Amino acid sequence: MELRGPGASGPHRRLRLELDRRREEGRRGELLPHLGAVDVARAAVDHSPGRAQCWADADTDVREWVEGTLAELRDLLDERIAGVYLHGSLATGGYYRPKSDLDLLVVVDEPLPERLRRGSARVFLDAFDRRPTTGGIEVSIVQARHARQFVHPLPYEVHFSERWAAEVRAGGAGPAGADPDLAAHVTLARGRGISLHGPAAADAFEPVPHEAFLASILDDLDWITSGDNILESPFYCVLSACRVLQVRSEGPGSVPSKEEAAEWALARLPVEQHEVIHDALDCYRSSAPVSPEQRRTHGHTWDVEALTRFKAYARAAAEVPDRDTRL
């Protein structure tokens, strides 16, 4: 396993840097125009819990959507596909229709030519457009040789998420390069993932060194606790921060879901942090339908002071390093 410096960066880190740059220039609205002011009180929005789903008992339309997407990908890539792995909430049993994303890792036997990169991205865009739920889709395609000989950040052939939908719709293939987030995705797939095609994830991917996994999630926590990101995506940021704190506390082998991490945090974090964690968990679990514009906030206001206190606590408790000291 080779550990590389921060010079190579993936699509999420580049987006975060762009967010920071535009925020500094006072042009935040150009990049995130859908995050308008929310003035609906929390008490006015339904927080009744929905059904937590896993792959084995997922709603029929969700399973058919995933299986249909994989069938289209197999038609395109044929025998190049060595494995397809479900990770995230649908694998761990914490998938909630109004909020959760579909998370996939695909392994291919050889580099993809540009035609197949564009074609794969288009398959994922079509899946995003016909999704039966509000949540999005995040998928990366990696070469088998990189899966078996892990490097950090891990190179990828294709990456798709909602952030890249417009580029793919215009005929592009999306980003290219290496993504430090993949250290976390591979760790979660090996520890909790489900093989939808090919061998088990533990056989397809080399173990990720804990220091690379930790560097990946600390990078995410750095973003969460910087600027006003926690105010823009409060329940995601709070639950993700809880997951980092649990991994930081428990060490190697700890791969909790966001929901599990929130329960862990409520049993261990100072009581003054509990209310905002409860609020985040209630929003994540809620069965109330939300529009894509409402998804990040559950369509209501949040306690800005409580979120600000939580992010300061989480950053200090996790001992987030400065950018120039990380892997």
Residue finishing a domain among 142, 175, 208: 208
The answer to the question of residue 171 being in a domain is yes
Please name the residues in contact with 112: beta carbons below 8 A apart, sequence gap of 6 or more: 77, 80, 120, 141, 157, 158
Identify whether residues 164 and 234 lie together within a single domain.
no
Identify whether residues 203 and 213 lie together within a single domain.
no
What's the rounded Cα separation, in Å, for the pair 304 and 302?
6
263-285 confidence digits (pLDDT tens): 999 999 999 999 999 999 999 99
**Torsion sign over Cα 234, 240, 243, 248:** negative
Looking at residue 322, what is its pLDDT? 65
The answer to the question of residue 35 being in a domain is no
* Rg of the Cα atoms in the chain: 19
125-134 confidence digits (pLDDT tens): 999 999 999 9
Looking at residue 286, what is its pLDDT? 97
Looking at residue 130, what is its pLDDT? 98
Provide the domain limits for residue 165: 50-208
Question: Region 142-157: what's the mean pLDDT?
Answer: 98
User: Reading across the β-sheet that carries 137-143, which strands appear in turn?
Assistant: 158-160, 137-143, 102-108, 81-87, 194-197
Question: Region 36-65: what's the mean pLDDT?
Answer: 92
Identify whether residues 187 and 67 lie together within a single domain.
yes
Q: How confident is the model at residue 320 (pLDDT cuts 50, 70, 90)?
A: confident
Q: How confident is the model at residue 38 (pLDDT cuts 50, 70, 90)?
A: low
Looking at residue 321, what is its pLDDT? 73
Question: Region 286-301: what's the mean pLDDT?
Answer: 94
The answer to the question of residue 2 being in a domain is no
Looking at residue 255, what is its pLDDT? 98
Tell me what the pLDDT averaged over the chain comes to: 90
Q: How confident is the model at residue 39 (pLDDT cuts 50, 70, 90)?
A: confident
Residue 280 CB neighbours (<10 A) = 26
Tell me if 152 sits within 8 A of 215, measured CB to CB. yes
Is the pLDDT at 107 greater than 50? The verdict is yes
The answer to the question of residue 279 being in a domain is yes
Question: Region 26-34: what's the mean pLDDT?
Answer: 32
Looking at residue 26, what is its pLDDT? 34
Looking at residue 30, what is its pLDDT? 29
238-268 confidence digits (pLDDT tens): 999 999 999 999 999 999 999 999 999 999 9
Share of the chain above pLDDT 90, in %: 85
Identify whether residues 174 and 223 lie together within a single domain.
no
The answer to the question of residue 40 being in a domain is no
Element (H, E) at 195: strand 194-197
Q: How confident is the model at residue 32 (pLDDT cuts 50, 70, 90)?
A: very low
2-29 confidence digits (pLDDT tens): 333 333 345 545 445 444 443 343 323 3
Residue finishing a domain among 161, 180, 208: 208
Name the β-bridge partners of 140.
105, 159
Spell out the alpha helix ranges (H) of the chain. 11-24, 28-31, 60-77, 89-92, 114-129, 144-148, 165-169, 182-192, 201-204, 210-224, 229-232, 234-250, 258-268, 274-285, 304-318
Identify whether residues 114 and 214 lie together within a single domain.
no
The answer to the question of residue 316 being in a domain is yes
Identify whether residues 156 and 245 lie together within a single domain.
no
Looking at residue 263, what is its pLDDT? 99
Into how many domains does the chain fold?
A: 2
Looking at residue 16, what is its pLDDT? 52
156-180 confidence digits (pLDDT tens): 999 999 999 999 999 999 999 999 9
The answer to the question of residue 29 being in a domain is no
Q: Which two tokens stand for residue 61?
A: 């339309």
Residue 210 CB neighbours (<10 A) = 15
Question: Region 203-213: what's the mean pLDDT?
Answer: 98
The answer to the question of residue 36 being in a domain is no
Identify whether residues 188 and 242 lie together within a single domain.
no
Identify whether residues 163 and 249 lie together within a single domain.
no
Looking at residue 327, what is its pLDDT? 47
